A = this chain, B = another copy of it.
Amino acid sequence: MALTRIALAQVDTCVGDVDANARLVLEWSRRAAQAGAALVVFPEMTLAGYPVEDLALRASFRRAAEAAVQRTAADLVEAGLGDLTVVVGTIGERLTSTEPDAQVRPTNQAVVLHRGQVLARYDKHHLPNYGVFDERRIFVPGEDTCVVDVAGRRVGVVICEDIWQDGGPVSQMDEHDIDLLVVPNGSPYEEGKGHVRTELAARRAREVDAPVVYVNLVGGQDDLVFDGGSFVVGADGELLASAPQFVEHLLLWDLADADEPAAHGPVAAPLSEDEEVYRALVTGLAGYVRKNGFRSVTLGLSGGIDSALVAAIAADAIGGQNVVGVSMPSVYSSDHSKDDAADLAKRIGADYRVQAIRPFVDVFESEMGLQGVAAENLQARMRGVILMALSNAEGHLVLATGNKSELAVGYSTIYGDAVGGYAPLKDVDKSRVWALARWRNDAARDGVFSPDELPPIPESSITKPPSAELRPGQVDQDSLPPYDLLDEVLDAYVEHAEGRPELLARGYDPAVVDKVLSLVDRAEWKRRQYPLGPKVTALAFGRDRRLPVTTRWREA
């Protein structure tokens, strides 16, 4: 039985860090060759990083990516890896027409490297432009198919969205009678998306009557989390091998002859729903901190569940010793809140500090005499100023601790608790916050993270009624529906764009629906108000110039 070994290099690239990404390609190609692979496949846009957003529109960046392609091809030979066939993602260029005023425009490209040469180039056809994707804004689509020979086997190459759309380059593979279809991907994590990917790949495998190798990016990049979970399905759609999620991994799988039975490789055990989301949050934060050049984070510890969960996530992402927790009690803070904050910090091994806000609030009250919402917001803003001062003085990234339910209904102070460079719970509703806290404490008891750790989150932070503690005796449910009900309505209204009639038809109390919808609309409006400004020249900062936050690309 003749087998061709294929390696799926599930790596964590960084947008703009072309040199480091090229070093990753060299290093993981070496590992693949040592493991006997004839072909190694990297994720989408390996050298440029993904998503590059408007960096793609800079000619100097495209030149740097192309130089990295040429250098990598040469470096592979020099390292004795010339016989290995390497599929690497990069940013390409294409003339938009044959007219004299034709422009050079970027493409989302995969190159096939072999013996120091670029054997083939493939430009992605289907450019997603929905949800988080802006590819039609940035790239021009390719028009050609790509089939290369690897150790006597015919291997087709397409990229990510190409398999999500019917027709296109996959359907054109028919006439090429391929033995294998390889697909580099930059597919962001979403709850429950894993099944969708494997089912889709299975359908395409049956269409082309060949196994499909699906290689996904892993790691946090800006507000996206790539979960890896690369896999292989057979020509009949059966799952033959898969890599674990949320870690870099080299998955090996052997392509058999067409008349031989398909070979099976290792299959990773699936994670529970809560573990998957928790690990996504840890991966996202770890990537954001590292790729932006931070080593430590700071956050306010209120004794409540949100800041406790964020602190636990941060400790898992970068180590408790790199977390600076600051208790900033006001006159309304209860003793148990301060105790819970100190207890949490001790459990996760964080640097713990206390800075009461009373002196700051007092001077504002004596100078300006604030009342009502202005006085409540002031407390939150003093905390924001304290955390930013610590960040300026000591270099920590500030984490905002608000959850999605709060943010959705505007239960948050702009320039106050909303202060921060990264908000780990931005997309986690309150019901899920509690579930994740319980899951994390259970995982400690079960020794999932380390054999002898304490549950990181104090039990009373989980069980007590949530409160912003901005007024005496205040609790969230004074002004909000119960969180389980709130989160259901938010999910329907925000995530699924259902309107009022649809919500009423599902039997929700009209008073609750109207309350939630008016809170969300108002909060959305306030959130989007800050900060904007007009656009009067051809291009301007802001919404017509989209750059990744986390990028190592520097002109100078």
Contact = CB atoms under 8 A, between A and B. Distances in A.
A223 interface: yes
Given A132-B543, A404-B541, A539-B495, A549 B534 contact: no
A523 B487 CA distance: 37
A421 interface: yes
Interface stretch (A184-192, A263-271, A471-479): A184-192
A537 B487 CA distance: 13
B360 A374 contact: no
A195 interface: no
A480 B415 CA distance: 28
Interface stretch (A24-32, A118-126, A361-369): A361-369
A426 to B, nearest CB: 3
Given A363-B359, A513-B556, A556-B517, A533 B427 contact: yes
A388 interface: yes
Given A58-B497, A60-B500, A418 B531 contact: yes
A178 interface: no
Contacts of A50: none
Given A418-B531, A556-B518, A537 B364 contact: no
A102 interface: no
Contacts of A553: 521
A223 to B, nearest CB: 5
A225 to B, nearest CB: 5
Contacts of A364: 360, 385, 389
Contacts of A483: none
A532 B422 contact: yes
A392 interface: yes
B536 A524 contact: no
A426 B549 CA distance: 19
Contacts of A61: 499
A129 interface: yes
A374 B400 contact: no
A517 to B, nearest CB: 3
Contacts of A371: 393
Interface string A348-382: 00000001000110011011101111100110011
Interface in A284-341: 284-285, 288, 292
B499 A528 contact: no
A371 B224 CA distance: 36
A444 interface: no
A488 to B, nearest CB: 14
A415 B388 contact: yes
Contacts of A549: 525, 528-529, 532
Contact of A188 (B368, B404, B535, B556): B535
Contacts of A424: 533-534
A541 B426 contact: yes
B500 A525 contact: no
Contacts of A189: 536
Nearest to A227: B536
A277 interface: yes
B363 A542 contact: no
Query: A60, A367, A556 — which one has the most chain B CB atoms within 10 A of its CB?
Result: A556
A360 B359 contact: no
The 7 closest A-B pairs by CB, nearest first: A60-B499, A426-B533, A423-B533, A517-B556, A284-B534, A374-B392, A528-B549
Given A220-B534, A420-B531, 16 more contacts: A60-B499, A129-B129, A134-B137, A193-B538, A223-B533, A223-B535, A224-B535, A284-B536, A292-B525, A359-B367, A378-B385, A415-B419, A426-B535, A427-B542, A517-B554, A529-B549
12 contacts: A60-B500, A223-B543, A284-B534, A363-B363, A364-B385, A377-B392, A385-B385, A420-B531, A422-B531, A423-B532, A517-B555, A521-B553
